[in-house]
A and B are shown apart, each in its own frame.
Chain A
Amino acid sequence: MLLLLAASLPLAMLLALGSGAVKIAPGDTVAALLGVDRGQASLIVQQIRLPRVLLAGIIGATLAMSGAAMQGLFRNPLADPSLIGVTAGASLGASLLIVAGGSSLTGFMGLSLVSLAAFVGGVLAVLLVYRLASSDNGTSVATMLLAGIAITALAGAAGSLLEFFTDNERLRQISLWKMGGLDGATLPRLLLATVVAGSVLLALPRYALPLNTLLLGESEARHLGIAVNRTKLALITWVAIGVGTSVALVGTIAFVGLVVPHIVRLLIGPDHRTLLPASALGGAILLVCADALSRTLLAPTELPVGIITALIGVPFFISLLRQRHHYGMQT
């Protein structure tokens, strides 16, 4: 399964590189990638589509692996990275900055200040949720779930309030930002995503064994010698960094973090040693394909990629849910 996914990813990326407003045959795409051909096709592939497809792959992988880690930590297959408040916090951070009029300013490395504000907002929200759920007896994941819902609601309300009082142009900026999109894929952004999300993708699999024992229950994991609180804090930090970065760069892309790990678990079981890498590959494939479709369906107009991830994933997901008893899932 892991091998199959690993083989499908380059294929998906190749097809994605070839599709768009200008169609390029797979053979020409390979030629353009290798630098053999120096025509217009090469320019499109190397300058425009390659950063975008790579960004889609990295973001998809990060979202899906973060989702798998959260579902393991919360022992709930319905958990999603946004549950700990990171998405809502990032949205609020971005909205605040847009309303304050900072959207035209650029930050560093080609990143807009909006992205930075989103990242900061996301991480702050997670810190707040974590603090609310922590006491002398450690951190309760159930409380964290509730605190996450509360902080999400609060950030949502604050965001709506901002939207209510701001002018039309900024309102449109906010709502465009929220829809997200991979169209801002520039080389510096790609570089940043590779470094940050890449370290998340390398860090999370190291917690595969602790996550496996956490599925038995937190006390049981502790009895098996796992440093439960340290593991929890590390997992939440990495997920906050990974999801915060992805929201900051491409906006909110729902569904990938929730459904990809769920689908993968139904197919290969809950062992995180394979579940985490397989989810990452699945997430990358889904987002690369969704992005390719979003560029081609109404070309030259682009659809928001979140719409496509939902349109591809939901029917597949529902068909699996209808036969989930074959896979032993109860919730």
Chain B
Amino acid sequence: MSLLALQSVDAAPWGDPVLTDINLRLEPGEVIGLIGPNGAGKSSLLRLLAGDFAATSGSLRFAGRALDSWPRQQLAQRRAFLPQLSLLNFPYTVEEVVLLGRTPHSTGLRADQDIVRQVLRATDTLSLRNRLYTQLSGGERQRVQLARVLAQLWHSTDMSGTLLLLDEPTAALDLAHQQQLVTVIADIAARGCAVMLVVHDVNLAASVSDRLLVLDAGQAVASGSPEAVLTPALFRELFHAEVLVQPHPNGRQPLVIGL
């Protein structure tokens, strides 16, 4: 059974359609990258899956059950969303912010603190744990928020049945931490967590994703492995950009070079 199944889903949260006829399946442990020009509906798709608004038509099932019929706390134990922007401007410590990710669980403070320590280590924020969130840099804040959503789903062995939605998680990260994010995603996917993320850097998207879904004007225009999707024709049509696509020296993915 797919973890996530969308069938001819339309969404128009503010009147005009932002997503049209989306069909999608996501299996446990699968990583899917969303790419497309600005305003294509990538964030809207994530927010639809995060429950920020409802589909106007079509069927949207999570673990075999209609998404809007899930009890909210059970859903929060299995689905987490990292938005592009964080509004937090109160002086929580980093540890307090990450601990908030454990809100839907009642695993006890000791277990929660153990998980918090693990996700802090995974996001290289352990040394920041007593700092105030409001005094961090943009990249540090993004890693702390990432740690928070990881803590929401974290399990040291089995994360099957969970879904992590990430909206531009690398936007403020330096190169080393981008690489670290790729490792973390591969790591949780190996434990069964399904991940859907929006990334603008197509090479980063190709390196982290099993499958890419290309959106344009609210519609899915291509879907498949990075090798199949990333072609010069796609970039010409979608981004009006000329690119070279070469095999990556690491032999595992295509490499897109802007001209």
Q: List the interface of chain A (C-beta within 8 A of B).
A: 75, 77, 137, 209, 212-213, 215-217, 219-220, 222-227, 265, 269-271, 327-331
Most buried by A among B90, B91, B101: B90
Across the interface, name the chain A residue whose C-beta is closest to B85. A217
A216/B87 in contact, CB under 8 A: yes
* Residues in A whose Cβ lies below 8 Å from that of B89: 75, 330-331
| Residues B103 and A225 in contact, CB atoms below 8 Å apart | yes
Residues of chain B contacted by A209 (CB below 8 angstroms): 103
Residues of A within 8 Å of B93, CB to CB, are: 269
Q: How large is the interface on B (under 10, 10 to 19, 20 to 34, 35 or more residues)?
A: 20 to 34
Interface pair B50/A219, CB less than 8 Å apart: yes
Q: Is the interface of A mostly helix, strand, loop or mixed?
A: loop
CB proximity of B165 to chain A, nearest CB, Å: 9
Q: Are A217 and B87 also in contact (CB < 8 A) when A224-B152, A328-B134 are?
A: yes
Q: Which residues of A contact B183 (CB under 8 A)?
A: none
Binds A, one of B70-78, B216-224, B231-239: B70-78
B104 touches A224 (CB 8 A): yes
A325 nearest CB neighbor, chain B only: B135
Q: Are A216 and B88 in contact (CB under 8 A)?
A: yes
Give bound CA distance, A77 to B90, whole Å: 8
**B residues whose Cβ falls under 8 Å from a Cβ of A:** 50-53, 72-77, 79-81, 83, 86-93, 96-97, 100-101, 103-104, 132-135, 148, 152
What is the chain A residue whose CB lies nearest that of B73?
A: A225
**Least CB distance, B198 to chain A, in whole angstroms:** 16
Q: A243–B86 Cα gap in the complex (Å)?
A: 32
Docked-complex contact A215 and B92, CB < 8 angstroms: yes
Q: A217-B87, A328-B91 are in contact. Are A227 and B72 (CB under 8 A)?
A: yes
Contact residue among B50, B75, B100 (Cβ-Cβ distance under 8 Å from A216): B100
Least distance between A273 CB and chain B CB atoms (Å): 11
Name the residue of chain A whose CB is nearest to the CB of B47: A219
For B96, give the chain A residue with the smallest CB separation: A271
- Interface centre among B81, B86, B89, B93, by most chain A C-beta atoms within 10 angstroms, is B89
B81 and A223 within 8 A (CB) = yes
The 19 sampled A-B contact pairs (Cβ below 8 Å) are A75-B90, A77-B90, A212-B103, A213-B103, A216-B86, A219-B50, A222-B52, A222-B72, A224-B101, A224-B103, A225-B103, A226-B103, A265-B90, A269-B93, A270-B92, A271-B96, A328-B133, A330-B89, A330-B134
